[in-house]
Amino acid sequence: MSEKDISVNPSIHGASKDGKRERAFELSLPALVTGIDALENRFREKTLITSISSEEARIWLRSQVSIGTKLDISLDIPKTLILESGLKLQLTGTVRLIQTDTSQNGKKQLISLRLDKKFKLIPVAPTIN
């Protein structure tokens, strides 16, 4: 094999072209979701976030929403050993995929959201016991 046969551009099998891979965290965090449903009524629903990354989130909703709908999400981040007091994370996203859970007679939907770049992180005042 000559030197001309050796590629100067290394490649990694299965890697994306740009080399970036968004890391999503699988979790179960309580969330408050508000927005406009498919019938154009305002709704407010307590639910769970099942997965989140810097670009996407997945949530369960009973409210019927449409693709393209903007939703507001508020997450309570509890205090930990590292975090001295809790935080409230407020973000918005656009519905991009809807999956109906047939095991629950179609009453819940798994919603995939494309998250906006802007968010608010608000400190929560510590409670006195």
> In the chain, count of helices (H) and strands (E)?
0, 6
CA separation (Å) from 85 to 4, 78, 101?
61, 7, 36
Domains of the chain (ranges, CATH numbers): 25-123 (2.40.10.220)
For 3-57, the pLDDT digits (tens) are 444 333 333 333 334 445 556 656 678 899 999 999 999 999 999 888 888 899 9
Cα 13 from Cα 55, distance rounded (Å): 25
For 74-109, the pLDDT digits (tens) are 988 877 788 778 888 899 999 999 998 766 555 689
CA separation (Å) from 88 to 24, 66, 75?
20, 26, 6
pTM above 0.85, yes or no: no
User: Which carries the bigger pLDDT value, residue 16 or residue 61?
Assistant: 61
From the CB of residue 113, how many other CB atoms can be counted at a distance below 10 Å?
A: 25
